[in-house]
């Protein structure tokens, strides 16, 4: 990847996008951020033709699994991505690589260390929208190189309080001694957004330019272990209660990825432990 390459990031103002732009800014690239609404196809085309990116990382999406607006999920995640790829198809010189962020939720309730070849059986609209997007993107693989990445759970400072880990950290920072959660018998990878963005950058630099890759560590942690870590960090003995309104009937019990393929493509360095991430998010000076 040339040092003066033009890299376009969609969703740059979102949680992951802000950290990815920061990561890429440490290197000599020309970084552009998509300003247009993905559902405004004409505006997207005009902006793409003006920028003429060499590389694209597509992060823009509705990413909260619990949202009830199914039509919005598909409109942004599927149709919006279609508009972007249509616009890229019109460039006089095709992009050298396009990374599209899907999600590990496409695997549904698969158990164990999930490989990229595992059956795809999403159990919610978010996962279904990401799988639909993946299928739609196959229409463009003969036009430019496309990598579909399936990140497993990750978090960090600035993550929306709609998500589990920020909700837990916020409760501790509020000096409460009771937290109300949903399903307690779940285990997830909870990786650090800074590590994930480093993986994105390394994938841009890699020779790999076609296919699906899990972005994962293969180290799930239970929800109650998260509580234990936060108790140790804060000195608070948090009481955990289940709120039936938070319990999802289609909750994925264990979600963890097999990282073998990723490790064969790039040198993966997971710098931050779950305790590092939680301490970073809890630190009131941030």
Question: Known catalytic residues?
Answer: 126
- Of 113, 99, 108, 64, nearest to 217 by C-alpha is 113
Alpha-carbon gap, residue 210 to 147, rounded angstroms:
5
Tell me the DSSP string of 139-151. GGTTTS-EEEEEE
Alpha-carbon gap, residue 242 to 246, rounded angstroms:
8
Report the SS3 class of residue 230: helix
CB neighbour list of residue 142: distance below 8 Å, 6 or more residues apart: none
What's the token pair of residue 128? 């279904």
Q: Are 182 and 242 in contact (CB under 8 A)?
A: yes
Determine the Cα angle at 279 with ends 19 and 186, to 5°.
85
């Amino acid at each position: 990847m040339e040092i003066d390459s033009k890299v376009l990031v969609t969703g740059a103002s979102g949680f992951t996008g802000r950290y990815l732009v920061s990561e890429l800014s440490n290197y000599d690239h020309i970084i552009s951020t998509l300003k247009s609404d993905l559902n405004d196809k004409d505006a997207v085309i005009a902006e793409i033709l003006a920028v003429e990116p060499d590389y694209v990382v597509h992060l823009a999406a509705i990413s909260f699994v619990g949202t009830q607006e199914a039509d919005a999920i598909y409109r942004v995640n599927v149709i919006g991505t279609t508009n972007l790829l249509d616009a890229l198809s019109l460039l006089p010189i095709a992009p050298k690589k396009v990374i599209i962020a899907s999600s590990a939720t496409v695997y549904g309730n698969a158990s164990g260390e999930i490989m990229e070849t595992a059956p795809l059986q999403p159990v919610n609209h978010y996962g279904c929208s990401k799988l639909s997007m993946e299928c739609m993107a196959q229409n463009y693989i003969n036009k430019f190189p496309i990598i579909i990445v399936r990140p497993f759970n990750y978090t960090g400072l600035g993550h929306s309080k709609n998500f589990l880990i920020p909700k837990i950290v916020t409760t501790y920072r509020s000096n409460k001694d009771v937290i109300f959660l949903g399903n307690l018998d779940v285990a997830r990878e909870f990786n650090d957004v800074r590590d994930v963005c480093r993986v994105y950058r390394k994938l841009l630099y890699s020779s790999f330019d076609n296919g699906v890759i899990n972005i994962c560590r293969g180290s799930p942690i239970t929800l109650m272990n998260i509580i234990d870590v936060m108790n140790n960090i804060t000195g608070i003995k948090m009481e955990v209660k289940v709120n039936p309104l938070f319990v999802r009937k289609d909750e994925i019990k264990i979600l963890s990825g097999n990282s073998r393929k990723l490790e064969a493509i790039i040198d993966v360095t997971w710098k931050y432990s779950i305790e590092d991430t939680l301490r970073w998010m809890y630190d009131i000076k941030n």
